Structure 1
Amino acid sequence: MLAHPAYRARTVYGGQALIPALLLLSLCGVAWVALYNLGQVAAARARLTHAADAAVYSAALEQTRTLNLLAYINRAQIAHQVAMAHLVTLATWAKFSDTEAQRRAMGNPPTYLIGSLFGTKAQRSYSAGRPSGGAAHEAARAYQAHDDLVYGTLLHAAQQAVATLPRQREAMIQAILRANYPELQGQPQSLQWRVLSDGWPGYVRSRSGQALRPLAYAAVGRYDFLQPRNFTRTNNWIVQKACPQKRHELRRRGETRMDGDGNWSSFDSLSYHSLRWNKWIGCYYREYPMGWGLAGDRLGGDTVQRAPEDFSSQDFWRWVSANTSWNIFSGVSNPLADAYAWMESVSPRGRGLPDSHEVSSAGETAPLRFAIAVRQQAASLPVSGGASRIAWAGAYALRVFQPGDGLTVNAAAETYFVRPQPRGDGKNEKPTLFRPYWQAHRVAANAGEQFMAHGATR
């Protein structure tokens, strides 16, 4: 049976419409895949950018922690120097108290004589000396313990912090990237990073221990206990007609100092200087040591390290003339007490001022910059032809990236110095490793870093 003409026409026209519909459907599929890929690329780039920003900021924070650690170590080093200066001074005061008690017990000179010549205050002070029970040597051992901390702990920690910072940054970056891309663990080639710029080399310089000397002296200058302990009391009576302008004297001398190697030393002495006269040399001072103590080495002065314990068998002035160059006519020191102190000195062992770290001249004018590039290989990207399951097979496969391509982003951060509050004098403060005012922030990559980001990955 022949079909109705109208039915045949509808069939022909229906078959002709199927082809455009299929073409349109194909175009819609291509557009859908392209839109899908565009969204996936945008999402992948945003994810990679966030991961790179977090990684570089974490690296900058690691730099910040290192610089602040160095600042705290430097300040701790100064604090230890103050403590060591106190310890050597305590050692000499303990030794001074021991010897003062001995001389008072011997009555050389007697307590009443000091009181009658120089007053009750001087007499009470002379009577206050007590045996310290080995406190001087305890202070010397404590000094050595501080020295061990200075070198064995603080200096070692500072040197390790400077040397290991690049490795610490690298470990931080790796940890951040692993945390952001757990699915890529075990695929080291899928996610790579490299350094675009690194201001760390040369940013911090090592300085010899002598650089701490003025800072240590400035710190100990805040303590009255460590200041020079010098005064002279003079009796009012005329003693000798041959030299009516001179009087009996009570000389207290003491000082805490640092030697050329950076070791602290201290000395304290107290002597009664009795004005005498004879026809051979005229008026002179006969010294009677009342107390002494020495820790370390006293700098300068003419010190005889061996002196008689008493002068019952020889004249004081003859021994001085034959063995020393002391000025016993108008001197201002206690040379005999110093000589006794040398014979009984306490020797705290130390290695002097330690090395320290400070910002280099370049670091004083620019923040510490660090920038990286992070690249994700195309094979691991969630796009068609990559890690996505959406792909067309065959010669007509739709690919967003060619084999070997990938997605690359860059990120940068800075570690900078800023005071939490402005200075009271209104001045700007240069970056320094003696104040823990270091912070970090992200910054935009510069043109050079953006250009380098397209090179070979690390």
Structure 2
Amino acid sequence: MTRLHSTQKGVALVWGLAVMSALSAAWLGYFHVNQIAEQQGRLSLVLDAAAYSAATEQARTLNLLAYINRAQLGHQLALAHLLTLATWDRAAQTQSAQMRRGNPPAYLIAMMFGSGHGAAYTGARSAGDQQQALEGAFDQHQQLVHQVLVKAQEQLVLGLAQRRRAIIDTVLQASLPDWPASSLSWHLESDDWPDFLRRRSGEQQWRPALRTLVGLYGFLAPREYVADSLWPVDRRCPLWRHKLRRTGRTSLDAQGRWQSDDTQSLHALRSNRWLGCYFREYAMAWALQSPEGTTGIQAPPDFSGQDFWRWALEQGNGSLFSAGDNTVAKAWGRRDAMRWPQAGLPQGYAIVQPQSRLALRLGLQGQGHLGQVVHAVSAAQVFFSVPASPIADAPVRPSLFQPFWQARLIDPSRLGDRS
């Protein structure tokens, strides 16, 4: 028995060492797996931050484009107002010259149409010349439209990829200082940005909006006014009266350039045995601001050498019997037209389709501290969302005129959703 007991000494130690080795291996495996999981989770969080930061930069870019587009519209409206002011100023100068010549005399206007019209006509005597100042302001707005704002848009759109890459690199480096840069590699697995925007002509980009906005400004509305004299003039046409007609209009031409005209004429009732009653036009004020020459009836500088009614019949002037238009004043306006250089409507950016979402999917691969390769995937989305308003009649469609673009993280598997 003593001999058998001595042969079993140390067996427990062997089993104990085996169990300890197994436990150590299990613990090392658990530690290794835990390290991988910890690094995986850390990379996922950092990658979420990078994807969200990149999407936020895209949202800011779209919102800034919206503000630039609104600024473009504002400067275009300023150009229209300045051009209209220029024709008003020029029309006041021509009216001042006519009043000083007494053609027609101020007392006659007051007698026919009342003291208010007479005082307004007499007040033109003090009209000054502001053309140089207005043209300088006009040129400054054009420079902002065609150089500053257009270049800013191009830099925003074309430089987004570089800015986005720099943001992602900065987030990764700041969040993973203990990971060597050479051990991290990220790439865009999907990116909607390259196909999200397109360049549009100025005609498509601005004219529809300007057509709506111009209607909000009374100063740019058609300037039509007619006053009739107070008493009958000729027994052969007892219902006809002398007329004082004011006309004016501000508009965009086919090339996207602003033009404006303003005229005022006295249409004095006359009669003869050949025509009966007709209207003899006396131009009181005229001005035209147009980038190019315009065509139309050409009127002589005065009618001292010919009868007005004969000239009007030869020209097919329908206002001879209706006083419906200031034909002579408009002809003199074309003769003396001002032509400031204009470059038309600039190009702009718009979204390709009326979709409200823009997504990117970011993949990251890193070599962990234990030599293992760790992968992570994240996705973010830019979306259009207008704050709820009790006065809104209908949902606002996504566009680059509304700065309501925001960013959020999404499940990478939802990238197919564009609703």
TM-score, normalising length: structure 1: 0.83
Number of residue pairs the alignment of both structures matches: 414
CA 176–267 in structure 1, closer or farther in 2 if over 3 Å, else same: same
Q: What residue number does 1:275 align with? A: 269
**2:285 counterpart of 1:285:** no
**2:341 counterpart of 1:346:** no
**2:122 counterpart of 1:155:** no
CA contact (8 A) 1:302 1:325 kept: no
CA contact (8 A) 1:91 1:137 kept: no
Of the candidates 243, 256, 262, which is equivalent to residue 262 of structure 1? 256
- Separation in structure 1 between the aligned mates of residue 407 and residue 169 of structure 2, nearest angstrom: 19
- Separation in structure 2 between the aligned mates of residue 71 and residue 36 of structure 1, nearest angstrom: 52
Which stretch of the first structure deviates more once superposed, 436-445 or 39-48? 39-48
Q: What do residues 5-31 of structure 1 show as CA deviations (whole Å, max 9, x unaligned)? A: 98x999876644333333233223322
Q: What do residues 292-348 of structure 1 show as CA deviations (whole Å, max 9, x unaligned)? A: 2221269988342xx4333334333344445x3323222411111112222322222
Of the candidates 191, 205, 212, which is equivalent to residue 198 of structure 2? 205
Q: Pairwise mapping of residues 362-381 of structure 1 onto structure 2 (< 5 A)?
A: 363-364=354-355, 367-377=357-367, 381=368
**2:189 counterpart of 1:196:** yes
- SS of structure 1 residue aligned to 2:195: coil
CA 130–209 in structure 1, closer or farther in 2 if over 3 Å, else same: farther
The Cα shift of 1:93 comes to 0.9
**2:347 counterpart of 1:355:** yes
- SS of structure 1 residue aligned to 2:194: coil
**2:415 counterpart of 1:421:** no
**2:401 counterpart of 1:409:** no
CA contact (8 A) 1:92 1:136 kept: no
Q: What residue number does 1:397 align with? A: none
- Separation in structure 1 between the aligned mates of residue 274 and residue 341 of structure 2, nearest angstrom: 46
The Cα shift of 1:356 comes to 2.5
Q: What residue number does 1:309 align with? A: 301
CA 423–347 in structure 1, closer or farther in 2 if over 3 Å, else same: farther
Q: What residue number does 1:227 align with? A: 221
Q: What do residues 225-278 of structure 1 show as CA deviations (whole Å, max 9, x unaligned)? A: 111111111113332333333221111111111111111111111111112223
Q: What residue number does 2:77 align with? A: 82
The Cα shift of 1:194 comes to 1.5
Amino acid at match of 1:52: L
Structure 2 gap ranges (5+): none
Q: What do residues 357-414 of structure 1 show as CA deviations (whole Å, max 9, x unaligned)? A: 22222x42x511111110012xxx122xx2xxxxxxxxxxxxxx4xxxx111100011
The Cα shift of 1:355 comes to 2.2
Of the candidates 358, 369, 377, which is equivalent to residue 382 of structure 1? 369
Amino acid at match of 2:192: G
The Cα shift of 1:50 comes to 1.1
CA 417–299 in structure 1, closer or farther in 2 if over 3 Å, else same: farther
**2:313 counterpart of 1:326:** no
- Separation in structure 1 between the aligned mates of residue 207 and residue 323 of structure 2, nearest angstrom: 31
- Separation in structure 2 between the aligned mates of residue 15 and residue 159 of structure 1, nearest angstrom: 83
- SS of structure 1 residue aligned to 2:317: coil
Q: What do residues 56-99 of structure 1 show as CA deviations (whole Å, max 9, x unaligned)? A: 11111111011111211121111112111111110011111111
- Separation in structure 2 between the aligned mates of residue 11 and residue 134 of structure 1, nearest angstrom: 128
Q: What residue number does 1:134 align with? A: 129
**2:176 counterpart of 1:181:** yes
Which stretch of the first structure deviates more once superposed, 121-130 or 62-71? 121-130
Structure 1 gap ranges (5+): 387-400, 450-458
CA 448–279 in structure 1, closer or farther in 2 if over 3 Å, else same: closer
Q: Pairwise mapping of residues 101-112 of structure 1 onto structure 2 (< 5 A)?
A: 101-112=96-107
**2:165 counterpart of 1:170:** yes
CA contact (8 A) 2:267 2:323 kept: no
CA contact (8 A) 1:276 1:286 kept: yes
- SS of structure 2 residue aligned to 1:244: coil
- Separation in structure 2 between the aligned mates of residue 35 and residue 289 of structure 1, nearest angstrom: 100
- Separation in structure 2 between the aligned mates of residue 159 and residue 201 of structure 1, nearest angstrom: 14
Which stretch of the first structure deviates more once superposed, 126-135 or 293-302? 293-302
- Separation in structure 2 between the aligned mates of residue 298 and residue 337 of structure 1, nearest angstrom: 18
Which stretch of the first structure deviates more once superposed, 171-180 or 258-267? 171-180
Q: What residue number does 1:143 align with? A: 138
Q: What do residues 156-212 of structure 1 show as CA deviations (whole Å, max 9, x unaligned)? A: 22233222222222222122112222344552xx11112122122322232222222
TM-score, normalising length: structure 2: 0.90
CA contact (8 A) 1:101 1:131 kept: yes
| Identity value in percent | 38
Amino acid at match of 2:119: R
CA contact (8 A) 1:108 1:288 kept: yes
Of the candidates 290, 293, 298, which is equivalent to residue 296 of structure 1? 290
- SS of structure 1 residue aligned to 2:198: strand
Q: What residue number does 1:32 align with? A: 27
- SS of structure 2 residue aligned to 1:233: strand
- Separation in structure 2 between the aligned mates of residue 118 and residue 293 of structure 1, nearest angstrom: 23
Kindly report the root-mean-square deviation, in angstroms, between the aligned alpha carbons of the 2 structures: 2.6
- Separation in structure 2 between the aligned mates of residue 335 and residue 194 of structure 1, nearest angstrom: 69
